[in-house]
Amino acid sequence: MPATDTGSTPGAALELAPGLAPEPTVSYQLRVDGARHQVHGAWLGASLLSVLRDTLDLTTVKDACEQGRCGSCSVLLDGRLVASCTVLAADAEDAEVTSVAGLRPSGPARAVAAAFVREGAVQCGYCTPGMVVAVTDLLARRPDADDGEVREALSGNICRCTGYGRILAAVRAVQDERAGR
């Protein structure tokens, strides 16, 4: 995980906006995994990641670098893969947010999750929710993606345990399975 220059711990967003009195706050609705959530009095500067985890307690979305570099907080925003730490939560008001928990069961998500477990692509597991979102996004668009495309599509999701070999094997297993090979 890349170090942040603040030396801060994840989840401490509200303590890190010094010198602002009163704190600008805002209330809005978010649609996450098909459900509407009311957010009351959140800090205006809060990222989608911090509101999902700290306000709505949706902790399947993981928090690591908070700089848009590690991919552990990946979600779909109106169907596009994004790092939720780079999205302003208050600006996602009219968007559809999809976390790993809300991926369509009719798509490749279940097969991806099962293959990750079967192929040993999950070790500490912290990158896994973001990885599964990214792999599902890729295979929904490009079911026959070749090795280079898979690597490029996952280049924004950092895993510090597996060395990626088992993750690539899991993606190939899903591709084979879905192609009836």
Task: Tell me if 156 contacts another protein by CB under 8 A.
Answer: yes
C-beta of 77: minimal distance to another protein in Å?
8
Residues 36-65 that bind another protein (CB under 8 A): 43-45, 47, 50
Calculate the dihedral angle through the C-alpha atoms of 94, 98, 99, 102, rounding to the nearest 10 degrees. Answer: 130
Q: Per-residue x/- marks for another protein, 12-31, CB under 8 A?
A: -x--xxxxx-xxxxx-----
The site for another protein, by CB under 8 A, has a size of 44
- Contact segment (CB under 8 A) with another protein among 53-61, 80-88, 104-112, 167-175 equals 80-88
Question: How far is 94 from 97, CA to CA, in rounded Å?
Answer: 9
Among 30, 32, 42, 90, which residue interacts with another protein (rule: CB under 8 A)?
Answer: 90
Comparing CA positions, the residue from 59, 58, 54 lying closest to residue 126 is: 59
Show the DSSP H helices in the chain as ranges.
48-50, 109-118, 128-141, 147-153, 165-178
Task: Report CA-CA distances (Å) from 123 to 1, 5, 79, 165, 181.
Answer: 15, 27, 27, 12, 27
List residues near another protein by CB under 8 A: 4-6, 8, 13, 16-20, 22-26, 43-45, 47, 50, 66-69, 71, 74, 80-83, 85-88, 90-91, 93-94, 134, 152-153, 155-157
